Amino acid sequence: MKVLVIEDQKSLREDIVAYLSDKQIVCESATTFSEAEEKLASFDYNVVLIDLMLPQGNGLDLVRMLREMHSKAAILIITAKGSLEDKVAGLELGADDYLAKPFHLAELAARVSALYRRTQFDGSNEITFEEFRIDIHSKEVLVNDQRLVLTQKEYELLLLFFSNKDRVLGKNTIAEYLWGDYVDTNDHFDFIYQHIKNLRKKILEAGARPYIQNVYGMGYKFNTKPG
């Protein structure tokens, strides 16, 4: 998967690139509007992250440009404004998703993975990893061809782990991912513990290895090489 991150904020850009880059993802970045224009014109990307507020131009113009080029890239727009008009305008122009600053990198990774899957029109609505097979459409999870019955939250958790393999996910990140803006994350730490416990139990019972690991009670990690 090739991802282009268009973001003028140096620290943020570097963090995003560092977080997203792994064996499967090649992450490039553009700092300015013209640099972004150039890269978009020259290379093909699977997912393009566009910060709407760029020093020399509006990110919405890049969205328009991509769509005029009939690019197949999925577009995720990022804005600090968080205003509804931007969101609506971006989605109307052809952006695929929208993320408001400040976001958790784990959430960004989950969104990027989801977008990437959507652009793969070769019927691969499936995520596979070791003994796991997940059908995105039917939300069916198979472990060693055995069906895993998960609640909605457990399913979402599993997807988050899959897009953030070998990353430590803090409780705050998980809470915000699962319950969103409306919820005071504080209230939900106990539930995270419950959901993780149940998910882990179900996975183990299906015969998979203990991928989900506890990190000092502060967070969790989907360890691809469980010891």
Q: Which is closer to another protein, CB of 155 or CB of 191?
A: 191
Check residue 145 for interaction with another protein (CB under 8 A): no
147 φ, ψ to 5°?
-75, 135
Binding mask 178-197 for another protein (x = CB under 8 A): -x-xxxxxxxx-xx------
Of 72, 129, 215, 226, the residue at the interface with another protein (CB under 8 A) is: 215
The least CB distance from residue 83 to another protein, in Å, is: 7
User: For residue 115, which of 219, 210, 25 has the smallest C-alpha distance?
Assistant: 25
Q: Which is closer to another protein, CB of 124 or CB of 194?
A: 194
The least CB distance from residue 178 to another protein, in Å, is: 10
Six-digit token pair at 69? 């080029």
82 φ, ψ to 5°?
60, 20
Q: Could you tell me the strand order of the sheet in which 146-148 lies?
A: 126-129, 132-135, 140-143, 146-148
Check residue 12 for interaction with another protein (CB under 8 A): yes
User: For residue 153, which of 130, 177, 169 has the smallest C-alpha distance?
Assistant: 177
Q: Which is closer to another protein, CB of 135 or CB of 187?
A: 187
Check residue 224 for interaction with another protein (CB under 8 A): no
User: For residue 162, which of 193, 186, 141, 191 has the smallest C-alpha distance?
Assistant: 141
With beta carbons less than 8 A apart as the criterion, state whether 6 and 51 touch.
Answer: yes
Contacting positions for another protein (CB under 8 A): 9, 11-12, 15-16, 18-19, 80-85, 101-106, 167-168, 170-173, 176, 179, 181-188, 190-191, 215-216, 218-219
